[in-house]
Chains A and B, each alone.
With several copies, the nearest count.
Chain A
């Protein structure tokens, strides 16, 4: 898990000319995140939302290690908190037709049980439609942290920076290896 955050920061480093992490280390994480907060408007980060009755019915907790993108415990959903776009007419990397892709996202690091590798996953919300309550509401929190680490906070609507902020569902897009 510490490895996860380090990996995240390392990757974010590459995204800025000045090296956000060095900035973070010298002037504090707040500055880093302030920078990231600007940066992500064009890029990474992700969407997270609360659980509800379908979560409640699941009993809560657990680890995502499965192989079915239609099921809550699919390995890529290790830090997903929301309804599954795969059940709502979208796909693992695609919002359903007529929705908007979130312009900001959060990333998680999830282990693929098939190859044993850790992958960086971008959880994008799909926006501008009412919540897809026909789908399962899933909640896993591997690497999730409170809002002072906004980059890894999943209890918030990541449609926040879109023109339509309605939350519909969440995808889990592979953006690379985490190692």
Chain B
């Protein structure tokens, strides 16, 4: 907190107030110490050549609470309680050239302040922001960073030590899917398998590998995966929902069903963060577009579909044009937040009493390349 020019402020008392009302009082210049309490929405605004930013909005109104600054080509991770946030990004000495560092910044959300940072091996994937490229273990001990040189590996950061534990080779695989408990994770591989890893004697080792659960040549899976109870739900380019159980660290398929069989119009999933699961509503939501074609898998949505994973049925569809990423908050009355082509984040109330309908209840402007968002209590 800084008190400016006391001299001037005092002088105001001597001013000549021959007015009907008293003059406005002098003010103090302060720095707000912490954000207002309440649930938050985090949007990562990626930059391709300067600082990317994590923007924090109040989840109820989308009023802005502040930002946390990262570097370029970044990924964001928000810990489930919403108290700590992470960004992994690239810093160059001359912004576009010169000595390069890959850095994991660790922020205190309440004060929007970087608490510490970990210098990473200079191998992190300088990718678009995706949910499963920066993750942490369920026990909170490790942060996992997806690398690409372009050979694939995962940097494992020991959070309590604040250092890099190791770089784990994961050739041909992509994405990090933490186990529900403990320190393990899965990754998705180009031969259609999933492999799991867990720590043993201070190093991460391979635990198990599924047989091929999908064929990337026939119908690829998106790498954004959602935990649905004891399973991960993955969505395929052509509209399947593929469930993978990772109980005990041993991944295995627990079923596949189609969202689009028997549906007219050539509907298919598409976008970036294009799937979300609400444990409260027990529904999986997916961004869908019609007249799909080879290469349309990142097209923005035309509709949002609600899927009951238990009954394997699409139980609701609603217009949702122009959105490429979205998420759903937790709680008794979850809200839905989407990022649209119009460079806005929009808040919706969700009504699933009869099918699916959305009511817009807020919006805020975005900047940069916003692909990733997270809602916290």
Q: A: which residues have CB within 8 A of B?
A: 1-2, 5-6, 11-12, 14-15, 24, 28-34, 37-38, 40, 43-45, 49-53, 56, 59-61, 63, 78-79, 87-101, 103-105, 107, 112, 115-117, 119-120, 122, 124, 126, 128-135, 139-150, 153, 155-161, 164-168, 171, 173-177, 179
- In the complex, residue of chain B having the shortest beta-carbon distance to the beta carbon of A28: B191
- 4 further interface pairs, Cβ-Cβ under 8 Å (given A92-B27, A147-B127): A29-B190, A34-B169, A115-B21, A157-B73
For this complex, 22 residue pairs linking A to B, each with C-beta atoms less than 8 Å apart, are A1-B294, A14-B7, A29-B192, A30-B189, A49-B128, A53-B343, A78-B295, A88-B66, A94-B29, A97-B31, A115-B21, A129-B69, A131-B49, A134-B64, A134-B365, A144-B297, A148-B189, A148-B190, A160-B149, A165-B90, A166-B96, A175-B27
Nearest-CB distance from B19 to chain A (Å)? 6
Give the residue of A33, A131, A155, A164 whose beta carbon is less than 8 angstroms from that of B172: A33
- In the complex, residue of chain B having the shortest beta-carbon distance to the beta carbon of A79: B295
Query: Cβ of B294: which chain A residues have Cβ within 8 Å of it?
Result: 1, 142-143
Compute how far the CA of A147 lies from the CA of B154 in the bound complex, rounded to whole angstroms.
13
CB <8 Å contact, A93 and B190: no
CB <8 Å contact, A49 and B298: no
B152 interface contact, C-beta 8 A:
yes
Compute how far the CA of A41 lies from the CA of B368 in the bound complex, rounded to whole angstroms.
30
- In the complex, residue of chain B having the shortest beta-carbon distance to the beta carbon of A167: B48
Chain B interface size band reads: 35 or more
CB <8 Å contact, B27 and A93: yes
* A60-B24 contact in complex given A130-B51, A130-B96, A175-B9, C-beta closer than 8 Å: no
Contact residues, B37-86 vs A (CB, 8 A): 45-46, 48-51, 53, 55-56, 64-69, 73
CB <8 Å contact, A156 and B55: no
- In the complex, residue of chain B having the shortest beta-carbon distance to the beta carbon of A87: B64
The residue among B100, B128, B222 with the most chain A CB atoms within 10 A of its own CB is B128
CB <8 Å contact, B111 and A98: yes
Compute how far the CA of A28 lies from the CA of B234 in the bound complex, rounded to whole angstroms.
21
Compute how far the CA of A135 lies from the CA of B233 in the bound complex, rounded to whole angstroms.
37
- In the complex, residue of chain B having the shortest beta-carbon distance to the beta carbon of A140: B295
CB <8 Å contact, A175 and B32: no
Compute how far the CA of A61 lies from the CA of B301 in the bound complex, rounded to whole angstroms.
10
Nearest-CB distance from A138 to chain B (Å)? 12
Compute how far the CA of A91 lies from the CA of B355 in the bound complex, rounded to whole angstroms.
42
Query: Cβ of B150: which chain A residues have Cβ within 8 Å of it?
Result: 37, 40, 45, 104, 150, 156, 158, 160-161
Give the residue of B1, B16, B293 whose beta carbon is less than 8 angstroms from that of A63: B293
Compute how far the CA of A159 lies from the CA of B72 in the bound complex, rounded to whole angstroms.
13
Query: Cβ of B51: which chain A residues have Cβ within 8 Å of it?
Result: 130, 166
Query: Cβ of B26: which chain A residues have Cβ within 8 Å of it?
Result: 174-176
* A150-B30 contact in complex given A56-B343, A166-B97, C-beta closer than 8 Å: no
CB <8 Å contact, A50 and B97: no
CB <8 Å contact, A11 and B11: yes
B324 interface contact, C-beta 8 A:
yes
Give the residue of B1, B10, B55 whose beta carbon is less than 8 angstroms from that of A134: B55
Compute how far the CA of A135 lies from the CA of B34 in the bound complex, rounded to whole angstroms.
19
Contact residues, B173-205 vs A (CB, 8 A): 173-175, 188-193
